[in-house]
Amino acid sequence: MALKCGIVGLPNVGKSTLFNCLSNAKAQAANFPFCTIEPNVGVITVPDERLNKLAEIIHPERIVPTTVEIVDIAGLVKGASKGEGLGNKFLANIRETDAIIHVLRCFDDPNVVHVDGSVDPVRDKEIIDTELQIKDLETVDARISKVQKQAQTGGDKQAKQIYEVLVKFKEALEQGKNARTVEFDAKDDQRIAHELFLLTNKPVLYVCNVDEASAVTGNAYVEKVRETVKSEQAEILVVAAKIEGEIAELETYEEREMFLGEIGLSESGVSRLIKAAYRLLDLETFLTAGVQEVRAWTYRKGSKAPQCAGVIHTDFEKGFIRAEVIKFDDYIGYGSEAAVKEAGKMNVEGKDYVVQDGDIMHFRFNV
């Protein structure tokens, strides 16, 4: 499931530093792999402690985590929607992503020049929002010109529905609001809204890049961002990219854990960021466990057993018979698959079963 998160931000906010830390995520996840597809795209493993706990019991030949793709989109500038900088190219890159990680500078440092002369994360957010909104408004206006006549005079029910969705987006965008702030109750309206692929309708995670002293508690800049985005129902993550760079350079797991403990963190910002990006894409993980491999598989939250079987192989979905499901805590608690079965804790589920995060699955199928 090749899903992408794009990292955006103004120049000199710590965006590339963060991407470089993510590039070293392999060092923070034991032997988990990292590979670069092209200079600004990385496939990064999603940290999942459950894999290691299962491996301690099963001793498999290999552990295979799930992944998410991160795209480092070069710094946007004011006027990007009109082609300033390399605006059009970067806006196209954002359009190809499924979600946005928006990095905001929330630290003071006289040695790092700010493109607009002063530190103001709310202003920075609004600059990028405006550029994306202008581009979205162009998209909406173009679509309105195509469907308006059919919607108003042709008696075309679908055209009318599309037109009404477009008008709601146009009103919000003209007020300087992001498309994601517009809510639709009807499933058809939600589908139409999604198929427009508007830049400001993508789910967003705001990453506040702070100094070391603010890594645990945040600071006044972070609070301003939190207040500004509360209507967007967006998650905010506080990360000190400079510290993350230092963590990435440490050789062993023990050294990293000690470093984190000294500054009062239980988990690195990079690890939290990867997990947050995974949630942002509305993804969850089911597991398969055997002596050959313990593996994490990505699926869309809310998927049923046959669709999850299809993640492994399309034949599994076509010929789905049933799923044998063990809850992760039961597997760890009883210590083996055989012990779970003996205790009557393995459930046999049919095609209507909604898979839960962390389920250990075994699919029965016949093709």
Weakest mean pLDDT among 66-70, 151-155, 325-329: 151-155
Selected residue with higher pLDDT from 149 and 362: 362
Strand order in the sheet with 293-300: 62-64, 293-300, 283-289, 360-365, 320-326, 347-349
Mean pLDDT of 351-362: 96
Selected residue with higher pLDDT from 88 and 146: 146
Strand order in the sheet with 204-209: 34-38, 41-45, 67-72, 4-8, 99-105, 204-209, 235-239
CA 296, CA 285: separation in Å to the nearest integer? Answer: 6
Residue 160, burial from CB neighbour count under 10 angstroms (0-12, 13-18, 19+):
middle
Weakest mean pLDDT among 26-40, 44-58, 152-166, 232-246: 26-40
Mean pLDDT of 97-114: 86
Residue 207 phi/psi, 5-degree rounding, is -105, 115
Selected residue with higher pLDDT from 34 and 198: 198
- What is the dihedral angle through the alpha carbons of 8, 12, 15, 17, rounded to the nearest 10 degrees? 160
| Per-residue pLDDT tens over the stretch 188-209 | 899 999 888 898 999 899 999 9
Output the six-digit token pair for 263: 């500054």
Q: Are 259 and 250 in contact (CB under 8 A)?
A: yes
Mean pLDDT of 134-160: 85
Structure confidence at residue 1 as a pLDDT band (50, 70, 90): low
CA 143, CA 137: separation in Å to the nearest integer? Answer: 10
pLDDT in the model for residue 350: 96
Structure confidence at residue 285 as a pLDDT band (50, 70, 90): very high
Tell me the residue ranges of DSSP E strands in the chain: 4-8, 34-38, 41-45, 62-64, 67-72, 99-105, 204-209, 235-239, 283-289, 293-300, 320-326, 347-349, 360-365
pLDDT at 269 > cutoff 60 = yes
Q: What is the mean pLDDT of the chain?
A: 85
Structure confidence at residue 81 as a pLDDT band (50, 70, 90): low
pLDDT in the model for residue 30: 36
pLDDT in the model for residue 67: 84
* Predicted TM-score (pTM) above 0.85: no
CA 88, CA 94: separation in Å to the nearest integer? Answer: 10
pLDDT in the model for residue 205: 92
pLDDT in the model for residue 103: 92
Q: Which residue has the tokens 């699955």?
A: 361
pLDDT in the model for residue 76: 59
pLDDT at 93 > cutoff 80 = no
